[in-house]
């Protein structure tokens, strides 16, 4: 029996996933998490074979939660199931230790097969994402080897401005973004870096060479 924890902030999504997974004889859902922090706690508590991890959740961001699960529950394979398919997010999740990456919209049979594969120690990518892998390897992941691979390009640019001591308005003017958009991105950045305050993010960013 392969054991699973579901992590998604939408109850209907979790309900649908549970119905799909438990329609089989060999998959069992042990628990459900609505936040990244809860996902980590449940993995420590239940030690599932696989956690299906959404990325955009309240509290700890899914990429940060992925990194933490691989640290505190190394026997649990993290299978990301998300709507985000940009290269930076995919690379950030894989860099954080995700064993696989599926897009929401995958059919039930693909999700079941992916869970079984992840539990067996295999790397799992949806067909659309798998087509990109040869190109990534040919490039040697150029441009994604910098600091904080879990951040998107825009988020790194914003963090660079934060590290330089710029205000949200100044960062927005530089990047042609509204101050509100910058503020929202800063909140996501703090979650991904697992820091509580802007000052902590500045310290980490400057240590990594940003803000010069």
Token duo for residue 74: 């190394």
Using an 8 Å Cβ cutoff, are 116 and 2 in contact? yes
Residues 128-133: contacts with CB under 8 Å, at least 24 apart: 128/85, 128/103, 129/85, 129/90, 129/101, 129/103, 132/87, 132/90
Confidence of residue 86 (pLDDT cuts 50, 70, 90): confident
2-135 CATH: 3.40.50.2300
Using an 8 Å Cβ cutoff, are 166 and 174 in contact? yes
pTM above 0.85, yes or no: no
Q: Which residues contact 59 (CB under 8 A, 6 or more apart)?
A: 35, 36, 37, 38, 191
Domain with CATH 3.40.50.2300 in the chain: 2-135
Domain with CATH 1.10.10.10 in the chain: 153-207
Confidence of residue 134 (pLDDT cuts 50, 70, 90): low
Mean pLDDT of 72-96: 88
The CATH architecture that domain 153-207 belongs to is Orthogonal Bundle (1.10)
Helical (H) or strand (E) element with 212: none
Helical (H) or strand (E) element with 192: helix 179-193
Mean pLDDT of 48-53: 98
pLDDT at residue number 171: 94
């Amino acid at each position: 029996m392969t054991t699973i924890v579901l992590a998604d902030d939408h109850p209907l999504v979790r309900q649908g996933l549970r119905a799909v997974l438990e329609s089989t004889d060999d998959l069992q859902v042990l628990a459900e998490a609505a936040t990244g922090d809860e996902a980590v706690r449940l993995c420590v508590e239940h030690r599932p074979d696989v956690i299906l991890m959404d990325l955009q959740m309240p509290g700890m961001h899914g990429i940060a939660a992925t990194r933490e699960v691989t640290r505190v529950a190394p026997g649990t394979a993290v299978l990301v199931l998300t709507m985000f398919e940009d290269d930076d997010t995919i690379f950030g999740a894989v860099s954080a230790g995700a064993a696989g990456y599926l897009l929401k919209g995958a059919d039930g049979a693909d999700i079941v097969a992916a869970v079984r594969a992840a539990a067996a120690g295999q790397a799992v990518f949806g067909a659309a994402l798998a087509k990109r892998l040869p190109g990534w390897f040919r490039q040697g992941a150029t441009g994604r080897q910098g600091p904080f691979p879990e951040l998107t390009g825009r988020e790194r640019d914003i963090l660079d401005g934060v590290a330089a001591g710029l205000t949200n308005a100044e960062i927005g003017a530089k990047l042609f973004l509204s101050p509100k958009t910058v503020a929202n991105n800063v909140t996501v950045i703090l979650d991904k870096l697992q820091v509580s305050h802007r000052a902590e993010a500045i310290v980490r960013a400057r240590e990594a060479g940003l803000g010069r």
